[in-house]
Structure 1
Amino acid sequence: MASRMETRLSYPFPATRVRSALVDPNYLRAKLASVHGDNSEVTEHSVAPDGGVQYTLALPIPLDKLPSIAKTLVPAGERLRRTEVWSSSQDAPTMTSSVVVPNAPARIEATARLEAEGAGSVIVTDLTVSISVPLVGGKIEKALIKQLTEVLEKEHRFDLEWLESDAAGGR
């Protein structure tokens, strides 16, 4: 079974500026430190000849926010791997994301598009959470979607602060 959700995150900045920030290694490191804490890092970052960008993040798993049954499925100390691939388009880029929890029956897949909206832009993300555990997988998926919503909101607040600081000449 799989659970899906769609999010819309608005920015008062053009898509080109938002994409530029979201794929910048300095931004990624700052976001990880601010939102995900000390046990997170950018493990890979590469720019393709056509301008596409791929990076992988290692993030701590917030076990305290998961249902007790889910905690038994995640090996202690394991970090999840989140890989994002951004297309080379500057005006209307797309992104695919895959989140894997090593040695656990969990997978998160997402596709997103960043597009103009009024004077700013919006990222529309379609996300699918799959937990391959009979009987309780759906319950765990719902809990993960709640947690993912909170994380995406925190990351969005960080994005806005970063972009506003950059606009004010703070970077």
Structure 2
Amino acid sequence: MELKLSASYDATPEEVFAIVSDATFREQACEKTKALSYDVQVTESGGDTIVRVSREMPSDDVPDFARKFVGQTLTVVQTETWHAAAADGSRRADVVGEISNTPVTLKGTASISGGAQAVQAIDLDVKVAVPLIGKKMEPFVVDAIRSGLQKEHELARDWTH
């Protein structure tokens, strides 16, 4: 199931990238999304900046029919590999993620583009590889991811002011 989301900021692409690749920002985003625990790593590899966020989340919002697959908590691991800036300052990232010990995976891209008003866009494909109920679970997973990303975008807007 596809998830597309974008947010605009009163900031340049360089400023938005500085925020999304800041470990403190990512830690605050984990707190804002009510993570029970988290680990944030920002590393450099060649010209790429790799942002890896692992967070343990309560599974309270998981529908009953799916809770037996996940238990009381979920460990969500997301890795963004941000490539070097293009001549216009825009950036693209390859995004992969999973909910540990579940058949949930996500894969896609993120981008930051624009001039004085930057736009951060995310385009993900979310899969729940469970026969029969996987397609039924995907909307719940997508909604949870969307909610977390929206909270992260709100926090990023606060950081740009």
Q: With the length of structure 2 as denominator, give the TM-score of the two structures.
A: 0.89
Question: Which amino acid in 1 is paired with 2:23?
Answer: P
The equivalent residue for 1:162 is 159
How many equivalent residue pairs? 159
Higher strand share: 2
Q: CA deviation at 1:39?
A: 1.0
1:1-171 correspondence runs (5 A): 3-42=1-40, 44-50=41-47, 52-89=48-85, 91-116=89-114, 119-164=116-161
Structure 2 residues not aligned, in runs of 5+:
none
Any conservation in 1 of the 2:82–2:93 contact (CA below 8 Å)?
yes
Q: Which runs of 4+ in 1 moved over 4 A?
A: 75-78
SS in 1 for 2:100: coil
Q: With the length of structure 1 as denominator, give the TM-score of the two structures.
A: 0.84
Any conservation in 2 of the 1:36–1:59 contact (CA below 8 Å)?
no
Between the aligned residues of both structures, percent identity stands at 21
Structure 1 residues not aligned, in runs of 5+:
165-171
Question: Which amino acid in 1 is paired with 2:3?
Answer: M
Q: d(CA) in 1 for partners of 2:141 and 2:73? A: 18
C-alpha RMSD of the superposition: 1.8
Any conservation in 2 of the 1:59–1:79 contact (CA below 8 Å)?
yes
Q: d(CA) in 2 for partners of 1:78 and 1:137? A: 17
Deviation string for 1:92-111 (max 9, x for gaps)? 10012111122211101121
